[in-house]
Structure 1
Amino acid sequence: MSDAIRLKVLPKFPAKLTGRAGIDVTKQNGEYFLDLDYSDFPQIGAVPAGTIYALIFDPATAQYSQLPISLLGDAATPLTVATLPSPTRGLRRFVSDATAATFGSVVAGGGANAVPVYATGTDWRIG
């Protein structure tokens, strides 16, 4: 995966490109390159209160999107079916009280099966 951000611009020359926080600008053979400089970004030791977003690259669309980090969750911590969040497509969790363990079936709570589940956008399924 490339960390490059592509921009289509028609600069007037002589052009001056300035990289600000987290962006490095280099020029090679008449071409300008804009690259992320991860050393400019602080490392986060704990998540502060409030809605925090992560920038996520989708290779299918070749675009970046903002994703609330609350949707990332902790997929390894077992939940009960009743405490699963809304089934946003692509989420994965682990439940401790499924009534069945049949792959692909809609999960129901109240049982004794510990199974991984995934969200389809409309419901949670075992798998």
Structure 2
Amino acid sequence: MKKVCLIILIFTIISCSKELVFYKDSVEAHNYLSVGNNSHLLEDKSYVELEGIFNMDFENVYLEHPSERIWLEFDFFNKLKNSEGKKLDGKMLKEFNGKKIKIKGKLSFGNTGHLSAYKMKLTEIVFLKTMYPDGAEMK
């Protein structure tokens, strides 16, 4: 019984640490400002790299950044893809739910999202990657 529990535990750890990375092949040359936890660096119409917790629920897709919730606006007509060529869709986005991610895109201020409940949105998303809870990148 102990061996079975150990095998299940090992399998769970391995499957939970699976790295998910999606990106666009052709990306315009922008300097993406890595904001980290420094919300004071956020500027309207800037291209940023953010880290936070990805959330997806009924009619809401957003990033929990340390001091703000940021609406995420994915362009499903020009999808991100992974190294295997799989394209990111709404069903695949569910795999990111509740996970710490790194994401790149264009930040805009103004009421947006479901019922205009968000003060910021990220559009022109070109990169999405899962991270370990402590913020370290998965290898």
TM-score interval, smaller chain:
under 0.3
TM-score, normalised relative to structure 2: 0.20
Greater RCO, 1 or 2 (C-alpha within 8 Å, sep 6+): 2
- Structure 1 or 2, whichever has the larger Rg, is 1
Q: Which has the higher helix share?
A: 2
TM-score, normalised relative to structure 1: 0.21
